[in-house]
Chain A
């Protein structure tokens, strides 16, 4: 089973699906939706087999495949996955069919071709899978850049208010970051002996100065993508303008390429530079937690609000990545998965509200719980997951990040913990202004606001809710996959050991 070329097939399959769908005539929208949904479900099934084939605690990189591409430059189609990539691939495979189902009627409002919309979603899936599955630095770069194209059109053609502005801004920000990375990729190729193979590149020696410059090239691209403060301002615009489904993929998966890139490329390839830059990166992440949370409190647009909460969450991930302990690192990766589920759900639910009301402004709601109690309940649940309430999956990751960080840097962990209070503030205030209180008279006049969740919408939210609860009480299946990969990064690549308990009599007595 493990001989099956999972990663290349998973990358190519959605592309084939996109090609099938895109050539359908615009009048066959319904057929396009069905094909897209079926196709993405097939990808999901295949990835479940991949999950089974992957051996937790086995080799660091598994499912490796390599095909020659440009031999003169040493560029190969090399795919391989560690536990970190694996869980992200699973997240993508799960989210895409749900997003397709949730976006069932989104494209119809835009006057543009319905099949193209769903083709773009499948194309996006192809690039997202490729970027996480690549084990060749050049291949990674290519996917990293190509990924922008479907998202650009999803925002620019199918988005809401100010979609052109938001799409261009998203594209330019990412492109600038990508250019820095391209320079660093070429630099790495030169100093690394003309190879792009990830595994080979982890073995090379680089002089300190060069290492720092190369680190910065990659880091800048990833910090813009994640995004970290102060590179964040494109996200609220993009998240606010994108159709809800695309927004869910944007913050749920695309942004994680930034944090994944740091973990896969910055830390193993440039370990000394990573350690040298770590305090700066943590400082930016820490500001992000507090700053973005405060901004989220002050937003009056549901989608922008959720975007800001994500920036705060990326701050937690950033701290976890650069604290260099097993708990914090594993927590950060788990956070990437959980945030994809929780914020994905939040964006999809917000999308359902916005589609009904025809507006994302919080002041246009008020007392919506009276009209759509179930929808309001799901919004509340997504909010709880977003504020990392124990019992939901994000609690585990936030707890791991904070406890792991505390063992090496107390002030950072303590300031970040203040973020959990602000998280409660932005979630509960949003819920109150949207669904509680006296019913906004303008709201009851809107016909669509009288329809609670449809069966299709229930099918979209139910798996996410179930997973958030399951992983909230039993995260072990996921942490067991992530942990070895993180441990390898911390111990082999960075040479870091977790600090022993300062008193520690207990542990010794138990062993």
Chain B
């Protein structure tokens, strides 16, 4: 990094940028503390608070445009100040933060509005909006923090909100379990992020963005790699990327607006934000970038393959989210100009994916909460608005010209082909293949839901279109799915230059035109194939299939792997330790006491049964002590 990172002090209107976090937070507190007293109007407060910060966000955005430096910092108070460690409770409003603020508040507002209708029959609607507002506050803190600790606070805050909302219907055991799984897998990533922060402090003496980015160049290459990989671990956890992807599809247990806002449009893209924000670190090390690219490429293909084998409308969408974020990781991993491309794809994805999730919710609303696409069919006639808006989202995600995705996904594929060596073919090929597969499984979803013969369960006579409060957000997001990508592509790229830098331009190994033709061709091929296969519907129960489909149905055995390697041994270890602690260590002490006290009868009784467990516990204890001591010593020598 030749240029040094400096942020101006926030003045004027921008001095009140903290309101973005405070308003939804206060609203959440009111909703949760007032209890039933707020049941009648609570949801409107929730909507209004997000609407208000959207307007505020817009005005901050325009004041930022007028500034020369386009980055302002606001230190609110000393958060942690001990010895040489100084952590600001501070915010940073710059072009990258600004686009996230607009996405979160804009799309967030529409989804809040939709949720008023979607949750109207739920007794817990006020609580729902409390959690929803809490999420918005935490998410804004995440993207507005001016140092890694602030980011971490927001990072775990959104994790909490996500947990609360996934397990919102917590009397369902599956929802409670899914929430817990999400939180735990995220904590694995969070631990990585935490250690990255420790390294920054130990080496650079600061966790402020400006200090870290300015000092990163002086770090040893091993340190850069370590920080980068740990940040990547955190990012993978939050964004459902390999190897921490398993929680995201299960998160669909939450109400559909949650899936749209948190598990599609905003929170799950936080990993992309983290890497883009940390671009001065990632750009330092090509190996690091290759790891990010590989994670992205692998995950985007996994998502496609698994998505093609699922029959639950929300799970297909969830896997498509995993896959699309894979494209974004691919982008931020490629670095240079592709940082901005990933962010642009992220924004466009926010629109079309939120649109499709809300569309799915609308379908479920009209079909008595049915989620099985084998039980849909022919809905186009009954839900015209949902059909059209979902259709626009579908065209956008498969990257059909002139819809949103075409302008945002295509450039990432081109950049993948522009890596300087043979890996261009590998990653470019994966991205291209992904485009074809995406077209296939999304078309399958679309056709099975809205076209072909009706395969409804008997209890459904007349599926109905959703009320206005749900369809208006759908229409607006549908419009976004058409135009957002094309409108944003160029201006957003130059808007983000102060943060993400100018990318050097490399020529792709194939010409731009050839790549476009190939990707459009594959898209049409995938979509056409799916249309042919599924236009007449599908079997109502799972059919026997070959090994690939079987594997895809079981999430490529990743869940089975986690269970066999972590869960089962973990449970065994826990049980063994509980046994040893009760019988072994404690029993040993009791036996000693009995011996001293002369209760020989009791002693004999104790001993005969448990000699083996004493031996085991002494052994275990000794091994533990030696191992821990070695770890400590190792640390002191290093």
Contacts and interface: CB of A to CB of B under 8 A. Distances in A.
* Chain B binds chain A: yes
Interface of A: 172, 229-230, 233, 279-280, 282-284, 286-287, 291, 294-295, 297-299, 325-327, 330-331, 367, 369-370, 374, 384, 389-391, 395-396, 399-400, 402-404, 406-415, 417-418, 420-421, 424-425, 428-429, 432, 435-439, 473-476, 479, 483, 487, 498-507, 509-510
24 contacts: A233-B585, A279-B633, A282-B628, A282-B632, A294-B577, A327-B85, A369-B170, A389-B156, A391-B156, A391-B157, A395-B153, A407-B198, A408-B636, A410-B635, A420-B194, A421-B188, A424-B183, A437-B171, A439-B171, A473-B89, A479-B81, A487-B83, A501-B205, A506-B212
Given A286-B628, A498-B83, A418 B578 contact: no
Contact of B574 (A295, A424, A499, A506): A295
B627 to A, nearest CB: 8
Given A432-B177, A503-B218, A390 B85 contact: no
B83 A506 contact: no
B125 to A, nearest CB: 15
B191 A421 contact: yes
B84 A412 contact: no
Given A283-B628, A412-B632, A479-B82, A510 B589 contact: no
B5 to A, nearest CB: 11
Contact of B621 (A230, A370, A428, A507): A230
The 3 closest A-B pairs by CB, nearest first: A501-B205, A409-B635, A326-B83
A428 B184 contact: yes
Nearest to B160: A389
Contacts of A498: 83-84
A409 B82 contact: no
Given A400-B82, A483-B82, 6 more contacts: A233-B586, A279-B633, A407-B198, A407-B202, A436-B167, A503-B204
A157 to B, nearest CB: 22
A251 B460 CA distance: 58
A280 B636 CA distance: 12
> In this complex, which of B176, B629, B635 has the most chain A Cβ atoms within 10 angstroms of its Cβ?
B635
Nearest to A419: B191
B88 interface: no
Contacts of A280: 629
A229 B89 CA distance: 37
A233 B157 contact: no
Interface string B227-242: 0000000000000000
Given A286-B632, A294-B573, A506 B187 contact: no
Contact of A474 (B77, B82, B203, B624): B77
A501 B202 contact: yes
B537 to A, nearest CB: 36
Contacts of B624: 229, 287, 291
A429 B567 CA distance: 13
Contact of A418 (B78, B191, B638): B191
Contact of A298 (B82, B194, B578, B586): B578
B104 interface: no
B575 A298 contact: yes
A406 B636 contact: no
Main secondary structure of the interface of B (DSSP, over half): helix
Contacts of B195: 406, 413-414, 417
Interface string B168-194: 001111001101100110011011001
B206 A506 contact: yes
Interface of B: 35, 77-85, 89, 149, 152-153, 155-157, 160, 163, 167, 170-173, 176-177, 179-180, 183-184, 187-188, 190-191, 194-195, 197-199, 201-206, 211-212, 214-215, 218-219, 573-575, 577-578, 581, 585-586, 589, 593, 621, 624-625, 628-629, 631-636, 638
A283 B632 contact: yes
A390 B82 CA distance: 17
Contacts of A286: 628, 631-632
B180 A429 contact: yes
A332 to B, nearest CB: 11
B632 A233 contact: no
Contacts of A279: 629, 632-633, 636
B87 to A, nearest CB: 9
Contacts of B197: 403
B89 to A, nearest CB: 7
Contacts of A406: 195, 198-199, 201-202
Contacts of B218: 503, 505
B180 A428 contact: yes
B228 to A, nearest CB: 16
> In this complex, which of B179, B218, B581, B629 has the most chain A Cβ atoms within 10 angstroms of its Cβ?
B581
A475 B77 contact: no
B77 A506 contact: no
A404 B83 CA distance: 10
B215 A412 contact: no
A287 B625 contact: yes
> In this complex, which of B171, B173, B624, B628 has the most chain A Cβ atoms within 10 angstroms of its Cβ?
B628
Nearest to A384: B160
Contact of A327 (B82, B211, B575): B82
A413 B634 CA distance: 12
B180 A432 contact: yes
A294 B173 CA distance: 23
Contacts of A410: 635, 638
Nearest to B154: A390
Contacts of B167: 436
B623 to A, nearest CB: 10
A146 to B, nearest CB: 23
B82 A502 contact: no
A503 B171 contact: no
A476 B202 contact: no
A130 to B, nearest CB: 29
A327 B198 CA distance: 12
Given A330-B82, A399-B80, A402-B194, A411 B635 contact: yes
Contacts of B78: 476
A284 B156 contact: no
A367 B171 contact: yes
A501 B152 contact: no
A501 B201 contact: yes
A396 B177 CA distance: 28
A438 B171 contact: yes
A404 B197 CA distance: 12
